[in-house]
Amino acid sequence: MKWRPIVIVGLTCAAVAGLVLWLDHARVMGHWLQVHTGTVNEPGPYYGLWSGFGSDLEEFGILGAAAAGIYQLVKKYNCHEPGCWRVGSHPAAGGRFMLCYRHHRDFRGPKPTHEFIERLHREHLERQAAIDSKLHEIHQHLTAKPVANDVHGAGAPAQTAPAAEDHRAG
Ligand SMILES: [Zn+2]
């Protein structure tokens, strides 16, 4: 990157120029700073600022941090459908999105009723049972095959191993 050293040199030059100007007008600038921060001329116009509104500037920072925290919490828990302000408590797309009942594809609008929840629960159990039986079937299939292979596998090296040993011995 070529622009980076140029920017650094430019900023350094500006800082040096500012410092030279400041030192050149040290008395004026120092007085300006003292007046505007309220360290001299106490009954002057800046007394009201620094003992009143100005003394609260730090608290605005704290309030801002609290507001940012609340905003992040809202962003985390509200429905991910753009423009929706409901609480999103239903995971969608494998948990990548949290959606409210109105925007979740399983509910499609109305608030889930007792019967609806019962039906979804029953469907879930049936699906789970089907997956379990399929897995069991696959497991049976896989565990049955290596046993058949082992019969041949155990037999074949047993025949060749003594032959190899004989070869080495002989
Ligand atoms: Zn929503």
pTM of the model: 0.40
How far is Cα 144 from Cα 24, in angstroms, rounded to an integer?
A: 93
Residue 108, CB-side half-sphere exposure with 13 Å CA sphere: 3
pLDDT-wise least confident of 8-17, 39-48, 85-94? 39-48
**pLDDT per residue over 11-24, tens digit each?**
999 999 988 888 88
For residue 135, how many other CB atoms are within 10 A of its CB?
10
On average, the pLDDT of the chain sits at: 81
CA dihedral (134, 135, 136, 139) in degrees, to 10, reads 130
Residues with CB under 5 A from ligand 1 (ion): 79, 81, 84, 86, 100, 103
- Provide the pLDDT for residue 140: 92
Instruction: Identify the pLDDT of residue 128.
Output: 95
Q: State the pLDDT at residue 68.
A: 93
Q: Is 149 helix (H, G, I), strand (E, B) or coil?
A: helix
Q: How far is the CA of 151 from the centre of ligand 1 (A)?
A: 60
Q: Tell me what pLDDT residue 125 has.
A: 96
Q: What is the mean pLDDT of residues 120-134?
A: 94
Ligand 1 centroid distance, CA of 111 (Å): 12
- Count CB-CB contacts under 10 A for residue 101: 19
* Across 29-38, average pLDDT: 80
pLDDT tens-place string over residues 161-170:
454 444 554 4
Helix (H) or strand (E) holding 97: strand 97-99
CB 98 within 8 A of CB 88: yes
* Under 8 Å between Cβ of 101 and 107: yes
